[in-house]
A and B are shown apart, each in its own frame.
Chain A
Amino acid sequence: DVVLTQSPLSLPVTLGQPASISCRSSQSLLYSDGNTYLSWFQQRPGQSPRRLIYNISHRDSGVPDRFSGSGSGTDFTLKISRVEAEDVGVYYCMQGTHWPLTFGGGTKVEIK
């Protein structure tokens, strides 16, 4: 199975400052169709997960443009340009290239 390793586990950030989360895969997530099926999810306390980003860098509808995704192959990053209070929660990466689909362990974003 593909192992996704996220870092850091916990990320205290100051409001208005940037934040960055890393997701490293145990094998390449580039699929034979040319797409890389790496997504990012946000889970606010007490809520269902919400997909923010798919295929490395495509934002879902309604997702603020302060969220951006980048990377290729085995290394991926989610960036928040200026953290707002509503961004508190746990962030997960997920790969959809190889069966079984797998999630990273999560990164908890909190306000300092």
Chain B
Amino acid sequence: QVQLEQSGAEVKQPGASVKVSCKASDFIFTTYGISWVRQAPGQGLEWMGWISAYDGNTKYAQKFQGRVTLTTDTSTRTANMELRSLRSDDTAVYYCAIEQYWGQGTLVIVSS
């Protein structure tokens, strides 16, 4: 059974950075790409970016270009998403997804 385990909730001040991790279990990690999707409170799904675990190739939504960095560590089957210069409207649940598998979500609250 493939599982994606994400890191815990974070509370950050405006202007800070946050790093969310996503660890895959029992998965041929390098075969797939990992998408990151966020969902603001009461809102729909928003695709942020994608990274190939095979070669590190990345694609980002224009909205987040320059502010988000996706990385992977194949030795630990972990994908990471770092979002910088946080604003209050970055408050959301952040998900990682590989094919049909999704993490449980990580709540990031940005508040002073």
- Using a CB–CB cutoff of 8 Å, the interface residues on chain A facing chain B are 1, 41, 43, 48-51, 54, 60-61, 90, 92, 94, 99-106
Contacts and interface: CB of A to CB of B under 8 A. Distances in A.
Given A100-B59, A100-B61, A48 B45 contact: no
Interface string B40-79: 0000111100100000000111100000000000000000
Given A49-B97, A94-B45, A103-B44, 11 more contacts: A48-B103, A48-B105, A92-B44, A100-B47, A100-B60, A101-B35, A102-B47, A103-B46, A103-B47, A104-B44, A106-B44
B26 interface: no
Contact of A48 (B59, B62, B104): B104
B29 interface: no
How many of chain B's residues touch chain A, expressed as a range? 10 to 19
B45 A41 contact: yes
B31 interface: no
B99 A51 contact: yes
Contacts of B37: 49, 103
B59 A99 contact: yes
Nearest to B60: A100
B95 A49 contact: yes
B105 A106 contact: no
Nearest to A106: B44
Contacts of B102: 48-51
A54 B100 CA distance: 9
A103 B45 contact: yes
B95 A48 contact: yes
Given A48-B104, A49-B102, A101 B46 contact: no
